[in-house]
Structure 1
């Protein structure tokens, strides 16, 4: 599967919605896990702003890579952010999009407070 690294060096990012477990089956409540490590996966909605444009990205992150202090509005850094194009067919309709995954989501609030 194609993986495209995303350069975040000139972007401003903040938490739009706090981390939530990534549910893969809403009927059973089954939580997604990383295939390689077995770590529980979380989703974090991040406002990604760059070059005068802003978009909310739904980023999947292993639970071990999610900082505890992530609340709405917290400035963050995304380590190892990649984009993966996907396509599937459901009930005869083709769907496609881009999914985002990061190794870690780290709060920058402490760094900004220390600099002030």
Structure 2
């Protein structure tokens, strides 16, 4: 499967941080933490997302560098993209969409911050 970023229009969505940012763990046994190509720690933030029709989903979004946001805070993911993924193990195939943002800032804050 080819990895193609899918831009997400966040203008009609409301995001709330539901769990404080945590470094993304690559290996539970060794505690190895994921870093990006520049050596920055990759953080995961769990957010609730509500659309204009009132539908709510939980999503986990990755970003490089520690976002200055807290649980319960309205936030805005900057340059949010989704990536479709698929993995086969033991004859079972799983798939989904992972999300990544250039940054995650408090709602209403300048996106360039």
When normalised by structure 2's length, the TM-score is 0.88
Query: Pairwise mapping of residues 65-104 of structure 1 onto structure 2 (< 5 A)?
Result: 66-67=67-68, 70-104=69-103
Q: How many residues align?
A: 107
Q: Return closer, same or farther for 1:109/1:17 CA change in 2, 3 Å cut-off.
A: farther
> Runs (4+) of structure 1 moved beyond 6 Å?
none
Give the number of the structure whose residues are more often helix, by fraction.
1
1:21 aligned residue (7, 23, 30):
23
Residue 2 (structure 1) shift: 1.1
- Give CA deviations for 1:48-83 in whole Å, capped at 9, x if unaligned: 10021111110011115x12xx22110001101000
Structure 1 residues without counterparts, runs of 5 or longer:
112-116
1:38 matches 2:63: no
When normalised by structure 1's length, the TM-score is 0.85
